[in-house]
Amino acid sequence: MSRIGKQKIEIPAGTEIVIDGTKVSVKGKLGELTRTFKDVVKIEKSEEGIIVNPTLDNKFANAMWGTVASHIKNMISGVNDKFVKTLIIEGVGYRAAVSGKNLNLKVGFSHDVDMEIPEGIEVEVEKSNIKVSGIDKEKVGLFASKVRLVKKPEPYKGKGIRYSDETIIRKEGKKAA
C-alpha cells in the first residue's frame, strides 16, 4: 500500500488539469506539462483533487501508484513555481559562461566543455554559481547532474562542481617525512 498514492492531490487556484485516460496535462501560470503514464493506475479528477488508484493487484501496480502520484504533484508544483538547482564551481581558474543555448565550462581541462542547454531549461551564471531552473523537475535535475559530472568534486582540495547543499568529505593529504 502506498502512503503517497493514498493521499488526494490538491489542485491550487489558477491551475487547469486535463485527464485523458493515462495522459495528464497540467497548465499553470508558468507553462504546460503533459505526461503519459502506464495503464496500471487509474487517475481521476474530483472536487477534492486528483485521486490515483492501482487497477491491478500486483507489486508493479503498487509501486507505480505512489510514483504516478508523486509525478503529478511535481507537475502541479512545477507549473506554479519553478524548480531550481544551484551548483557551485570551486577551483582556481574554473569558470562558467552562458552563450546562446550553450553552457561553456572551463574546469581545468586542456579544452573548454560546451553543453547544450535543453529546451525548457534556463541557466544563469553568477561568479562561481550556476543556477539551473525550469518547470519540469526531471529535466532540471538531469541537466544539473550532467553539469556536475563534467568535473566531480575531489576530496583533497574540494575542486570541481558541486551542488550548493552538498557536503564534500575532505581527506588528509600526504605528510612530509
Average pLDDT over residues 134-145: 97
Q: State yes or no: pLDDT of 163 exceeds 80.
A: yes
Residues 72 and 89 in one domain: no
C-alpha cell at 81: 513555481
In this structure, the answer to whether residues 66 and 103 fall within a common structural domain is: no
Q: What is the pLDDT of residues 72-92, one digit of tens each?
A: 999 999 999 999 999 999 999
Q: Give domain status of residue 176, yes or no.
A: no
Instruction: Tell which of 56, 80, 104 closes a domain.
Output: 80
CB-CB contact of 111 with 64 (8 Å) = no
Where is the domain boundary, 28, 50, 80?
Answer: 80
Examine residue 137 and state whether it is found in any structural domain, yes or no: yes
Same domain? For 92 and 148 the reply is yes
Q: Are 64 and 41 in contact, with CB atoms under 8 Å apart?
A: yes
Q: How many structural domains compose the chain?
A: 2
State residue 4's pLDDT score. 86
Cβ atoms 42, 53 nearer than 8 A: yes
**Cβ contacts of 23 within 8 Å, gap of 6 or more:** 34, 35, 36, 37
User: Cα(131)–Cα(114) distance, rounded to whole angstroms?
Assistant: 16
Indicate if 45 and 88 belong to the same structural domain: no
Q: Output the pLDDT for position 1.
A: 63
Asked if residue 65 is part of any domain, the answer here is yes
**Residue 145 covered by a domain:** yes
Does 155 fall in a domain? yes
* Final residue before a domain boundary, out of 46, 80, 114: 80
Question: Does residue 68 lie in a domain region?
Answer: yes
Residues 54 and 90 occupy one common structural domain: no
Any idea what the CATH number is for the domain that residue 30 is in? 3.90.930.12
Beta bridge partners of 15: none
Domain range enclosing 20:
3-80
pLDDT at residue 6 in the model: 86
Question: Is 121 within the bounds of a domain?
Answer: yes
**Set of cell numbers at residue 6:** 493514498
